[in-house]
Structure 1
């Protein structure tokens, strides 16, 4: 059993809050998901979460024009510069305050940052600037009277438009110009949400929260800007905009006085004096200042309020310069497309009843990305064809439970929102969502034949869903309403059991008939967990309850007769070992106890409370050391080979224990996100005042429409969407993949996937002294294929094994496999099964699989080799799905070409007949 598991992907959460951006090629969307960043490849239909973790949630991100650098800033103002080539953080910078917006200039040489009422201009590191020292400050502007909210650069990176909460938009210049000074554009009656420059000119569009849109026209062309020569000593000096504004204001006052005097003199002179008129106009053009004229004002919110008949607020906007398309989103979940500058409405759509947080348009203008933070929703809308390029949504509340499919390709999850979702582990997307339940899901299970899934809920029903037609084909209920807290399915997929939370009974149904077979009574407390024996020859059922008992049932044969084992504390979770001979039970006192099922005797126990880690909530009145005494493991899972057990609970840690020695092998920290509660062991002393803990004081934030949202006292779980909360970190469910190569955890952050990195450590197998890569290559060149393959398997280097296998001719595969011993055949099959996922030589590897299974199939079909076979099945199924699409497309293309050829042949024959006649 290897322990080199590392984070591979994040599922179940597609968007939390912050900016959405498209890649320069327009085929990928970059989304902040809590304290991580996920990239959604829309062309290949795949998602990938970067292995970069911040200590707080990301709020502002932007990508350089060349797509090489990503700047991500979290909610406490810590900025990370991330290389998109190596996918690593290369520099960090602390702004120490909330940053509302960050934007790269179009030439990629600078980036601007909004903090409070200031705007900071930094040199961007890279070849374009010639500097690789990040965060070298170039300019600072602080003319705004309130917090700055939005930044937009002009097309030539000379001017900068900055919107703020003081209902005005400021125009700054990166360099000094003789005919330009700082400009303040008013005219709005609410805070600025967005401002956008037009293409190839300095015309401007400004949008405020109340839906008011103003169109501004610039009085000069971009070529008319006159740079000011700066002395070399002052060229690299950081200047303040207020000082330069004073100088510019005096200069412009003198120039305007001269212009006014010249214009008055020209008016006093006779009209036929053409020379004076020419001179006066020349003086005007020489000193023509950059000014803005308001061309129009439009109220976009009126269109929404007429349809919805409620007060709405404009929350997000995006503009595409090439196509002049403006997209605005509102607090009621609707978004509108307008054609500028005429403000003609093209399209309107409502995606939900929650506010739209962020909008982005890809470089070609075809796709629009919309993020809704409250619902955790991310959409990519193709507005011309009115179709979704991507539509993903995670669980709006906590994710309670998960289950792997038998081949490890899919994961089914259930949440507090009553939804059951099916996730594809290959691409990270949700395939289907079932919404039949009306209350929180407490348990989900995959059938062993992968044809259906079952779920239990607090609404008193257990439902079965068909994965072929995607429908709820069976709804199972009890004689009287019961809140089901757990569910289990036997190895034959014929019997289904569910335990009650308010009524302390276990209900047994037949899946095929849909009838209730038995009601198992005996527990005196809520049934916490159920499990059927995984062995195909046994229908044994075990259950644990809060009444401190473990009961072993054989309900199919003996009805309600059972055997009771007394536990030391309340039972929280029970699971079977893969061979079906042992069970592991997690109890409230922090222990994991192991029992032999046939003899009902305890084999051993693990004291895991100290391994959980304390973690102190901001509102806790006791220390972390004291709170640790009340924590315990709430979920367990055996590894695929049964040698280790995975345990998690009300903590930030997940532990792997060895079952034989009962010792801790490795501990995983699932998150470092301090935006969640109970991550740290200590509380910030600044929050502890003489009047008490400041974390107990309710923070009231004014939302859209002036409403104030409060958190109800004492609420720990349930519907918290309309209240101000700080969720507490917790592991709700755990499961190993049947292939043994990965495991998944349903946590407060989402569905975390950890996979086995085989290339991380050097792990030889029965290595001998003379085996080196050079000797393997030499043996291979001598055409001793079986010996070379065994040497490569002993060295256990992935690239070397691949080189040996792919250099063996197809005609010698059978002879090579016959020359291997059973242990090396198993190693070779394991490598081929994993390599099949990525290789292009599909037929070649299928020949290897056919020969191995034909000659050694009877020896491989055991419980220990089952993960290898499941990995093989999963990768072959993936290749089949990918190739079937290509083959179907080619089949239809070839039939079309045949029809076209036959049509042309008939036309040619008819023409020849006509010529002969």
Structure 2
């Protein structure tokens, strides 16, 4: 289908941060931009106003990121499937374009580091590769390579260049700590083993002193080793009294000579770099993976596994949460009727309300240890209805997030789909056991109006007709059932050899559109007969499906990680969006057809410019 490659969707904004990428959060040397990965994409975000630029070029998730000392280049590595090469891309920061694409490592690039004068880039392959390669940035060619660790040692996990010498860098990992010297004329790198005596440690992160006299190593044991760079001998190890729980995961030397230390438990400390004594400490949400300094501005940024970004000032050492996102699969998206300013997403433990133009979290509704499977706004905009895996339907106030009502034991195997009627008095729900139920909401209570079990597997999607007289339920049992909402009897059953994931009415409501295993199908509402079937994906399931209000276009997204905009009448793709690093879980077009929201299994929320925006 040539149309897929002809037109690309334009990404307007992105909510998310690949917080698990070690040292993935960086501040550009100009002090004005934050740089970080999100799935396949690298985001350059202006600190002042939040404006975003996007770098696209990887064909799988970004696994590591670094910025050159002068800020001219960004380098990023990726993961790939076993047996395939994992690319390193050097980006031109000013042009926002690819400067060089380097391909030698297998399966994963673990870490990257630029030499101090932008001459070379050193790259470290992952577990299945195990090699270190030094690249000439000017010629875009590899100078030399070597196994990263000795045969007797474990895997190498990190690499860092000297602050002053283009020919010296350090690597560390499981039982290995080496200082390397680059011999350019002979195209060789020579390692010198550092001796830590009886101390056997797995090093997760390293930091070099400003004068390159010693290297500091953060370990999984929760202590920090200081090793002399010239002699390769261990100087000292600390802290003695207070170990960092779940290991030291991030290290940075502060301008004052103090040490910023992040741990796997989320504790973030300011330590003395001489005796490792803890001077200040705060607790963050989940493990710290990145510390990015903003020069001499007495300010720095911290990224965590929970995809949060915090801003700190050195004076008060208080954490200001500046960026939030989901760090697990986004299950559903809902847009309030009659507005295109807001949307809600649901995931594990929470529902979040976002402003669409300047992606910012406005409200978070948290239910600990539970997963929200589906969410919808009541049409009056006063309440949010939600479906949870503990079998409960929860109704929240849209403005405050306050719990207004709970319907207990709504479904035995969890509530998997939900929708509200236009008169805002009834809810239709579907469960993991295949039941479909109708609930009446009363001022201070509720009652069940009907329950039917015609589906043999979990209900994946429910859509109600605009007149509140009919609704359709889709199930992974391969059936879509069109129901009479007033009498609660089935009118038509649509059956196909597929796992139905999504369904929607055409705005004129004489047809329904379904998605499942690689296919999108059009069906006649009146007799359930098939009208048309098109190949929606080359691989995997189509999980998300939504149609525009004028019925001219529809949007799909699924396991192939591609957002596709289709012409409804022609049945062809007009535009394709490539940026997601995880399977796309849902897609929605805003009411004014200006923006398209897509979400994925890695927690990312992307807002695209809809290419067929309705003329005002």
Pick the TM interval, shorter chain: 0.7 to 0.9
1:522 shift after superposition:
6.7
What is the TM-score of this pair, normalised by structure 1? 0.56
Larger RCO (CA under 8 A, 6+ residues apart): 2
Looking at structure 2, the residues matched to 589 and 175 of structure 1 have their Cα atoms a distance apart, in angstroms, of 52
1:562 shift after superposition:
4.1
| Change beyond 3 A, Cα 1:363–1:530 | same
1:542 shift after superposition:
0.6
CA contact (8 A) 2:11 2:607 kept: yes
Looking at structure 1, the residues matched to 172 and 43 of structure 2 have their Cα atoms a distance apart, in angstroms, of 29
Looking at structure 2, the residues matched to 480 and 102 of structure 1 have their Cα atoms a distance apart, in angstroms, of 50
1:84 maps to which residue?
Answer: 93
1:642 maps to which residue?
Answer: 551
Higher strand share: 2
| Change beyond 3 A, Cα 1:757–1:486 | closer
Looking at structure 2, the residues matched to 95 and 587 of structure 1 have their Cα atoms a distance apart, in angstroms, of 38
1:299 maps to which residue?
Answer: 238
CA contact (8 A) 2:344 2:354 kept: yes
Looking at structure 1, the residues matched to 575 and 566 of structure 2 have their Cα atoms a distance apart, in angstroms, of 9
| Change beyond 3 A, Cα 1:12–1:204 | closer
Deviations 1:13-48, CA, capped at 9 Å, x for gaps = 5434243221113343222223221234333245x3
1:246 maps to which residue?
Answer: none
1:118 shift after superposition:
6.4
CA contact (8 A) 1:612 1:652 kept: no
- Which of 508, 514, 519 is 2:450 aligned to? 519
Query: Is 1:444 the equivalent of 2:353?
Result: no
Instruction: Tell me the SS of whatever aligns to 1:364.
Output: coil
1:400 maps to which residue?
Answer: 331
1:84 shift after superposition:
1.9
Query: Is 1:532 the equivalent of 2:464?
Result: yes
Stretch of structure 1 that moved more, 476-485 or 404-413: 476-485
Query: Is 1:50 the equivalent of 2:54?
Result: yes
Looking at structure 2, the residues matched to 325 and 645 of structure 1 have their Cα atoms a distance apart, in angstroms, of 55
2:168 maps to which residue?
Answer: 160
1:344 shift after superposition:
3.0
1:327 maps to which residue?
Answer: 260
Instruction: Tell me the SS of whatever aligns to 2:316.
Output: coil
Deviations 1:525-566, CA, capped at 9 Å, x for gaps = 4544322233xxx322312255845333243xxxx3545113
| Change beyond 3 A, Cα 1:37–1:586 | closer
| Change beyond 3 A, Cα 1:68–1:159 | closer
Looking at structure 1, the residues matched to 161 and 584 of structure 2 have their Cα atoms a distance apart, in angstroms, of 44
Instruction: Tell me the SS of whatever aligns to 2:367.
Output: coil
Instruction: Tell me the SS of whatever aligns to 2:387.
Output: strand
| Change beyond 3 A, Cα 1:459–1:168 | closer
1:577 shift after superposition:
3.0
* Residues 634-713 of structure 1: pairs in structure 2 closer than 5 A: 634-649=543-558, 651-652=560-561, 655-659=564-568, 661=569, 663-666=571-574, 668=576, 670=578
| Change beyond 3 A, Cα 1:434–1:612 | same
Q: Which runs of 5+ in 1 are unaligned?
A: 126-132, 219-289, 616-630, 674-728, 759-829, 831-866, 870-917
| Change beyond 3 A, Cα 1:490–1:13 | farther
* Residues 305-454 of structure 1: pairs in structure 2 closer than 5 A: 312-320=246-254, 322-352=255-285, 355-364=287-296, 366-373=298-305, 375-406=306-337, 407-415=339-347, 417-436=348-367, 438-454=369-385
Q: Which runs of 5+ in 2 are unaligned?
A: 1-5, 80-84
| Change beyond 3 A, Cα 1:159–1:365 | farther
1:606 maps to which residue?
Answer: 532
1:266 maps to which residue?
Answer: none
1:190 maps to which residue?
Answer: 201
Query: Is 1:461 the equivalent of 2:314?
Result: no
| Change beyond 3 A, Cα 1:645–1:605 | farther
CA contact (8 A) 1:743 1:754 kept: yes
Looking at structure 1, the residues matched to 589 and 291 of structure 2 have their Cα atoms a distance apart, in angstroms, of 37
Looking at structure 1, the residues matched to 167 and 55 of structure 2 have their Cα atoms a distance apart, in angstroms, of 36
Larger-gyration structure (1/2): 1
1:170 shift after superposition:
1.9
Deviations 1:675-717, CA, capped at 9 Å, x for gaps = xxxxxxxxxxxxxxxxxxxxxxxxxxxxxxxxxxxxxxxxxxx
Deviations 1:137-177, CA, capped at 9 Å, x for gaps = 3x77889635554444454336634133444442647899x
The aligned length equals: 583
CA contact (8 A) 2:20 2:289 kept: no
CA contact (8 A) 2:392 2:410 kept: no
1:742 maps to which residue?
Answer: 595
CA contact (8 A) 1:11 1:423 kept: no
1:736 shift after superposition:
1.2
Higher helix share: 1
Deviations 1:316-375, CA, capped at 9 Å, x for gaps = 32223x22121223333323221222433122233245x4433333323644443444x4
Looking at structure 2, the residues matched to 539 and 516 of structure 1 have their Cα atoms a distance apart, in angstroms, of 18
2:82 maps to which residue?
Answer: none
1:461 shift after superposition:
1.9
1:92 shift after superposition:
0.7
1:575 maps to which residue?
Answer: 504
Looking at structure 1, the residues matched to 249 and 516 of structure 2 have their Cα atoms a distance apart, in angstroms, of 48
- Which of 57, 64, 68 is 1:64 aligned to? 68
1:80 shift after superposition:
0.6
| Change beyond 3 A, Cα 1:365–1:194 | farther
| Change beyond 3 A, Cα 1:561–1:341 | closer
